[in-house]
Amino acid sequence: MHTAKLTTVKSVIEPNLKGKDFLKLSDFNSEEILYMLELAIELKKEQKQGTKQNVLDGKTLGMIFEKSSTRTRVSFEVGMTQLGGQALFLSSKDIQLGRGESVYDTAKVLSRYVDCIMIRTFEHDKIEEFAAAADVPVINGLTDTHHPTQVMADLLTILEHKGQLSGLKMAYLGDGDNNMTHSLIEGAAKVGMNLTVASPEGYEPEDEIMQKAIEDGYKANAVIELVNDPVKAVEGADVIVTDVWASMGQEEELAERLPIFQEYQVNEELCKHAKDDFIFMHCLPAHRGEEVTAGILDGAHSVVYDEAENRLHAQKAILKLLMEKK
């Protein structure tokens, strides 16, 4: 098993993010993302040492869930508690948004009650509309297009186990047109990680997101590329990442997708092309025997449970920066 080695990124000046929305990683510059990671490391150390920062005392996070969740709900709720605040769970069945109230009215009303809103929903346009109407910060807990809080946890996990981000090679295998791929592309480009995405033809990432990341990666001396060959993607990789082949809302497509994605399965044979000390990541839940074999997911290279835990620490850093009293 891996033992996480808490480290740090280069020292950066604290950005002023109070009141800002956290919708996608391309909205932030490299220094802001690196600072969030540095703060997450600090908060994780404090939590492990049993100390506590009540920096969000009296603050409330409203959490709207239109998609089911394990890690997102628990990590945000626990994170707010550890920072001295509280979280309020709101399913679409519990609020009028699920019965036809407008996004605008819901955002305006909740802004009068809570200090920040986290949403886990379907269309990314919906969260953009919500954030435009809200008078408090809005955090993207997941949309069909982006999953930025998960990728912040991923970057934190890589930093812990590899001691750096810049210059590493990450390989992502599977469905390129999903929220994890898009946010990994944006995050890698911002922190200077080389990323090769291997996807079947017709399942590539959105072109606009890919082109923007290529430009951002160039500025950070990182190569962001797309291939169809999974072996080429994992050659010399420090980090291998995958996700389910049919995301939430696509379950009925699984039978059709299985033969298309089979050669992109992360298995022992494919991983022989990576570096000997590669780490494997998956945002979970995982389907053993589909996108990854049990031998890899449960094996010595896997850091998936460190990755899951780091949702808590990365999100605490985001919450603190967006809401802390100054």
Do the annotations mark residue 49 as ligand-binding? no
- Cβ atoms of 135 and 196 within 8 Å: the answer is no
How many whole angstroms separate alpha carbon 308 and alpha carbon 302?
Answer: 12
CA 184 to chain CA centroid, Å, is 7
**Residue appearing with tokens 């590493």:** 168
Do the annotations mark residue 148 as ligand-binding? yes
Do the annotations mark residue 140 as ligand-binding? no
DSSP secondary structure letter of residue 175: -
Do the annotations mark residue 11 as ligand-binding? no
Residue 288 annotated as catalytic: no
Catalytic residue among 115, 116, 150, 161: 150
Do the annotations mark residue 116 as ligand-binding? no
- Cβ atoms of 200 and 241 within 8 Å: the answer is no
Across the chain, how many H-helices and E-strands are there? 12, 9
How many whole angstroms separate alpha carbon 71 and alpha carbon 186?
Answer: 22
Catalytic residue among 116, 243, 257, 265: 243
Catalytic residue among 144, 283, 301, 306: 283
Do the annotations mark residue 80 as ligand-binding? no
Catalytic residue among 73, 120, 161, 301: 120
Do the annotations mark residue 248 as ligand-binding? yes
Identify residue 28 by its one-letter amino acid code.
Answer: F
Do the annotations mark residue 70 as ligand-binding? yes
Do the annotations mark residue 170 as ligand-binding? no
Residues 6 or more apart whose CB falls under 8 angstroms from that of 288 comprise 294, 297, 298
Residue 311 annotated as catalytic: yes
Do the annotations mark residue 120 as ligand-binding? yes
Do the annotations mark residue 283 as ligand-binding? yes
Catalytic residue among 82, 311, 313, 315: 311
DSSP string, 203-215: -PPPHHHHHHHHH
> Binding site membership for carbamoyl phosphate: which residues?
69-72, 96, 120, 147-150, 283-284, 311
> Binding site membership for L-ornithine: which residues?
179, 243, 247-248
> Binding site membership: which residues?
69-72, 96, 120, 147-150, 179, 243, 247-248, 283-284, 311
For the annotated catalytic residues, the residue numbers are 120, 147, 150, 243, 283, 311
